[in-house]
């Protein structure tokens, strides 16, 4: 019996050593060279050539004492729309959509620079743990209710921001909202809607990601600050407010936890808009993916709309405003 136990102990010890040796190799694997792909019409989010809208800047305190830089587009409406930007970016490119919604008195719009993005980069370049982005959304909801006297809350997001919306409303333990809007939502790298490397938007350190996932499965989060995802943005659109890479914890948190479960859990009235010319995703896959939540999610595909100009398209604005009012 002692010999058997000894053999089992040796077997387990060897496998544990192999496991940690494998993860050590993977998390230190060289990151692939960034792709030089210009697959997007970046001019559609040029913030210099668009109309300016009346807004105010506000640093909103979160529960941990840190602040999020936000823009507030006021209206006479008692509805607050919290509009989340996509990955690697910040809230400036959303000003056409936000400004028109507020100007038409459809809703007061808050466009935060999420933690680790935009004007927040100098004070907090990353989240501290997976799940912090959801907590920040809850704090923004509290701010809208307490400081803006909002009676209804709508959560909206573009691209990874749309995926974060799904992650939020798919968690039934979080503060409830009235409606949700997802514009070309990123559903995670395993979703059938996503093209390889998101159509060239990012370069992913796959081996490092796998190694960190293995460690997290064992409850080890010590190395979650390691970068795993790098943006392939052209230099012409780089500035100090753009994020160059994501840590593992940011990359994981800025996407649905499990898109299938999140969609199955969906109990919030939702509008999903995707452009037929989207460079990152397969538009024809969205209706099927959202079908388990067809009672709650209205998926619409728009012609002549791509991944970036969806936030400026007039038909998109019309459909969003009709959805909010009805």
Q: Maximum Cα–Cα distance for the chain, whole Å?
A: 80
How confident is residue 8, by pLDDT bands cut at 50, 70 and 90?
A: low
The mean pLDDT of 246-251, rounded to a whole number, is: 95
* CATH (domain of 140): 3.40.50.1820
In a domain, 102, yes or no: yes
In a domain, 36, yes or no: yes
The mean pLDDT of 129-155, rounded to a whole number, is: 97
Q: How many domains does the chain have?
A: 1
In a domain, 18, yes or no: no
Residue labelled with tokens 């230099």: 235
The model's pLDDT over 31-76, given as tens digits with 9 standing for 90+, comes to 777 666 566 666 655 555 566 898 999 999 999 999 999 999 999 9
Q: Give me the percent of the chain exceeding a pLDDT of 90.
A: 71
In a domain, 15, yes or no: no
The mean pLDDT of 233-262, rounded to a whole number, is: 90
Question: Which pair of structure tokens corresponds to residue 7?
Answer: 């053999």
pLDDT for residue 44? 57
The model's pLDDT over 312-324, given as tens digits with 9 standing for 90+, comes to 999 999 999 999 9
The model's pLDDT over 262-301, given as tens digits with 9 standing for 90+, comes to 999 999 999 999 999 999 999 999 999 999 999 999 999 9
- Domain residues for the domain of 234 are 31-325
Q: Give me the percent of the chain exceeding a pLDDT of 70.
A: 88
Cα–chain center distance at 32: 23
Cα(319)–Cα(307) distance, rounded to whole angstroms? 17
In a domain, 21, yes or no: no
In a domain, 11, yes or no: no
Shortest CA distance to 231 belongs to which of 264, 187, 280? 280
């Amino acid at each position: 019996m002692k010999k058997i136990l000894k053999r089992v102990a040796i077997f387990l010890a060897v496998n544990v050593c192999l496991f940690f040796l494998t993860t050590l190799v993977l998390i230190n694997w060289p990151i692939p060279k960034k792709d030089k792909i210009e697959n997007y019409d970046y001019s559609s989010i040029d913030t210099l050539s668009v109309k300016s809208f009346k807004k105010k800047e506000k640093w909103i305190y979160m529960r941990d004492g840190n602040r999020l830089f936000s823009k507030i587009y006021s209206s006479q409406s008692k509805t607050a729309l919290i509009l989340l930007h996509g990955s690697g970016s910040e809230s400036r490119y959303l000003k056409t959509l936000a400004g028109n919604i507020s100007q038409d008195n459809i809703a007061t719009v808050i466009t935060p620079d999420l933690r680790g993005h935009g004007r927040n980069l100098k004070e907090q370049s990353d989240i501290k743990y997976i799940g912090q982005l959801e907590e920040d959304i809850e704090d923004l909801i509290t701010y809208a209710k307490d400081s803006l006297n909002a009676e209804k809350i709508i959560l909206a997001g573009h691209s990874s921001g749309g995926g974060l919306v799904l992650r939020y409303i798919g968690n039934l333990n979080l503060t409830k909202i009235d409606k949700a809007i997802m514009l070309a939502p990123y559903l995670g790298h395993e979703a059938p809607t996503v093209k390889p490397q998101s159509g060239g938007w990012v370069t992913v350190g796959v081996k490092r990601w796998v190694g960190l996932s293995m460690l997290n499965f064992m409850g080890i989060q010590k190395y979650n600050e390691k970068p795993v995802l790098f943006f392939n943005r052209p230099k012409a659109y780089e500035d100090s407010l753009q994020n160059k890479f994501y840590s593992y914890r940011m990359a994981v948190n800025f996407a649905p936890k499990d898109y299938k479960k999140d969609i199955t859990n969906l109990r919030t009235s939702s509008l999903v808009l995707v452009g037929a010319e989207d460079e990152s995703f397969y538009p024809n896959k969205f209706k099927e993916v959202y079908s388990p939540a067809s009672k709650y999610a209205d998926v619409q595909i728009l012609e002549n709309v791509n991944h970036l100009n969806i936030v400026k398209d007039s038909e998109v604005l019309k459909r969003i405003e009709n959805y909010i009012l009805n």
